[in-house]
Structure 1
Amino acid sequence: MATQTSPTSRPSRIRVGSAPDSWGVWFPDDPRQVPWQRFLDEVAEAGYEWIELGPYGYLPSDPRTLAEETGRRGLKVSAGTVFTGLHHGPAVWEKTWEHVASIAALTQAMDARHLVVIPSFWRDDKTGQVIEDATLTAEQWGHLATQTERLAREVGDRYGLRVAVHPHADTHIDTEENVTRFLDATDPDLVSLCLDTGHYAYCGGDSVKLIETYGERIGYLHLKQVDPAVLADVRAQGTPFGPAVAQGVMCEPPRGVPELEPVLAAAARLDADLFAIVEQDMYPCDPDRPLPIARRTRGYLRSCGV
Structure 2
Amino acid sequence: MTTALDRIRVGSAPDSWGVWFPDDPRQVPWQRFLDEVAEAGYSWIELGPYGYLPTDPARLTDEVERRNLKVSAGTVFTSLHRGPAVWESTWEHVGQVAALTRAMGAEHLVVIPSFWRDDKTAEIIEPSELTAAQWAHLTKGMERLGHEVKETFGLDIVVHPHADTHIDTEEHVERFLDSTDSDLVNLCLDTGHYAYCGGDSVKLIETYGERIGYLHLKQVDPEILAEVVDNGVPFGPAVQRGVMCEPPAGVPALEPVLTAAQALGVELFAIVEQDMYPCPPDRPLPVAVRTRAFLRSCGA
TM-score, normalised relative to structure 2: 0.99
| 1:56-205 pair list within 5 angstroms | 56-205=50-199
1:114-173 deviation digits (Å, cap 9, x = unpaired): 000000000111222111111100000000000100000000000000000000000000
Deviations 1:85-129 (A, max 9, x none): 000111100000001000000000000000000000001112221
- Count, aligned residues: 299
* Matched letter for residue 256 of structure 2: P
Q: Is the 8 A contact 2:194 2:200 kept in 1?
A: yes
Q: How does 1:224-263 map to 2 (within 5 A)?
A: 224-263=218-257
Structure 1: distance between partners of 2:132 and 2:231: 29
Q: State the secondary structure of the residue aligned to 1:277.
A: strand
- Map 1:199-214; keep pairs closer than 5 Å: 199-214=193-208
Q: Alignment partner for residue 223 of structure 1, among 198, 214, 217?
A: 217
What secondary structure, in the 3-state scheme, does the structure 2 residue paired with 1:38 have? helix
TM-fit CA distance, 1:60: 0.2
Q: 1:50 aligns with which of 28, 44, 49?
A: 44
Map of 1:34 onto structure 2: 28
How far 1:10 moved relative to its partner? 6.1
Whole-angstrom CA distance in 1 between matches of 2:61 and 2:45: 12
Shift in alpha-carbon separation, 1:11–1:122, aligned structure 2, 3 A:
closer
User: Which structure 2 segments of 5+ residues have no match?
Assistant: none
- Distance in 2 separating the partners of 1:199 and 1:252: 14
Offset from partner CA, 1:61-97 (integer Å, 9 cap, x none): 0000100000000000000000000001111000000
Letter in 2 for 1:112: A
SS at match of 2:106: coil
1:3 corresponds in structure 2 to none
Identity of aligned residues (%): 76
> SS of the residue aligned with 1:199?
helix
Name 1:305's counterpart in structure 2. 299
| Shift in Å, 1:11 | 5.9
Distance change (3 Å), C-alpha of 1:212 and 1:239: same
Cα distance in 2 between the residues matched to 1:174 and 1:11: 27
**Runs of 4+ more than 4 Å apart:** 8-11
| Alpha-carbon distance in 2 for matches of 1:79, 1:275 | 9
| AA partner of residue 273 (structure 1) | E
- For residues 290 and 186 of structure 1, what CA distance do their matches in structure 2 show? 37
SS in 1 for 2:224: helix
Matched, 1:22 2:16: yes
Cα RMSD between the aligned structures?
0.8
Q: Secondary structure at the match of 1:233?
A: helix
Q: What TM-score, normalized to structure 1?
A: 0.97
**Residues 127 and 11 from structure 1, CA distance in 2 versus in 1: closer, same or farther, beyond 3 angstroms?**
closer
Amino acid at match of 1:280: Q
Query: What is the letter of the counterpart of residue 19 of structure 2?
Result: V
Alignment of 1:260-275 (within 5 A): 260-275=254-269
